[in-house]
Structure 1
Amino acid sequence: MSDPHPARPAEREDKRSFLQKLAEFIHPGPDSPEELIEALVEAEDNKVINAESRAMLEGVIRMADMTAGDVMVAAPRMDLIDIASPYDALLHLVIDTAHSRFPVFEGDRENIIGILMAKDLLKLQRAPELNIRALLRPAVFVPESKGLNDLLRDFRGNRNHLAIVIDEFGRTAGLITIEDVLEQIVGEIEDEFDVAEDDGDIFGLPDRSFRVSGDTAIERIEEAFGVRISSADADQDFDTIGGLIAHKMGHVPKRGEHHVLAGLSFTVQHTRGGAVRWFKVSPVAGLPATAR
């Protein structure tokens, strides 16, 4: 007599690789990058890939049409070292900016003669007789039109992580790092100062001061601290506290600089890409809470 409940055959394990499954899903292939991106969105909807994989693949596709000029740090925002600067000034700049590599110029800022690694300054501390020129590494120059795919390949091949971007006339247009390129694929690479947007923009500190994002809306500052901040000049309109303070100071603030506004002291804790990421904010004793 046959078994009324025969055992079900074991399901076969899907041994296809992720790329094989993705290729089969989008076959026949799309005819344009836009169609490929749409196919990736559909693949995510159908659980073939997850959201993180879709975002990274989309970044790779979009990066194919991007150039160094699209993502570089513009020349006015570059932190440069004057080779004629004394050691103490060099050390101060390194500490304030927290970069690991610095373009070095001689005479004119356009005359970049090499790259200084921050860690190499330790050699000067141990052997002051060394000439800083001996510590410089060759500067790599690339045109604004250099494709990011090619640039990433060059970065990996020559182990240089920073390049000076020049315009069509041979002038310095900016600089670009391997991190700038990789962020086009994986998104912003976070550090200890990075906080998710949902986590907030104002945080209390143990010393009764506050850590405030430079992107915080001025209205939010007024509400949180009970102050009144007028909006800069009549012909200017600023939405964020970072933009307003930079305007008041007349330059891009550096780490450690501070400015008093509306009875509050704003000290720059961290900058990135020429903008303030975080301030340390505390009330100034004896000053009224009104705009200055």
Structure 2
Amino acid sequence: MLSLTNVTKYFNGTEVLNNINLNVKEGEIFGFLGPNGAGKSTTMKIICGLLNPDKGTVLINNKDIVKARTSALSELSALIESPKMYPYLSAVENLKQICRLDNIPLSDLADTIDLVGLKGKENEKVKTYSLGMKQRLGIAQVIMGNKKLWILDEPTNGLDANGVIEFRNMIKKLRKEKGVTIFISSHKLDEMERICDKVAFIHAGEIKSIEYINKHDENCSLKIFTNDLPNCLAIFQKLDYIEKTEKFEAGIILEYKDEHFNDILNELVNNKINVTNISKEEKTLEERYLNIIGGVKND
């Protein structure tokens, strides 16, 4: 649904994006993570056609954002940085403008307003709205219609705890019902971990890593507590699917692909290793973020 190939961007002769390569599958929720100034918003603006890349290509549903701009942009809706609305109009009047410009049936308005939690407030002028209410209205602008790709830049800014939970549940529900593809950036790593299928880490204009969330592609860590340490260590050091073995005072730590968890258990049973406890650990998104970008000052 979305493909970036060698996307590079300069501002006043300074490179701010360096050969960005990303592929987002149809129906996927893809997280875009990095510190302030890393290049997230610039990348998203290029995807939305607000900026042109100096090098590289962006394809939306196989349509080039530069060569087939109108056709490519017809596939997406976006919320970049902060919602932009007419402050002297009500929420429903603002949404009617979107409907008019994008040929969206007015009958969609009531359900959309209810879905983003603005029911009962839709006839109030936007200039009276709190930051969180404006954010809800911005999200409403994105989810109306039948776009195939949503670009969401910090969509939970200004939302309270309940609002964040509502947003998470709404995104999961709509992805399932509409099959929409969602490209989303956020600083709330715990929420991204709950929502996303895959994430990319960007720093200083470069993609540092692309990783799956809660999928078998990632390494897991397993602590095996045993009083038969030498035999246990010898068994797992010779197995190809064990990425790393490490001793600790009460046993060994294994790094492995999650799909081999049952194989490890079978090895322990078949070799009659006396195990007193097993502790399976997976790295949280925050731990992955700190491993890849942690200790680096924000740009």
TM above 0.5, one fold? no
Indicate the structure with greater strand content: 2
**Larger gyration radius, structure 1 or structure 2:** 1
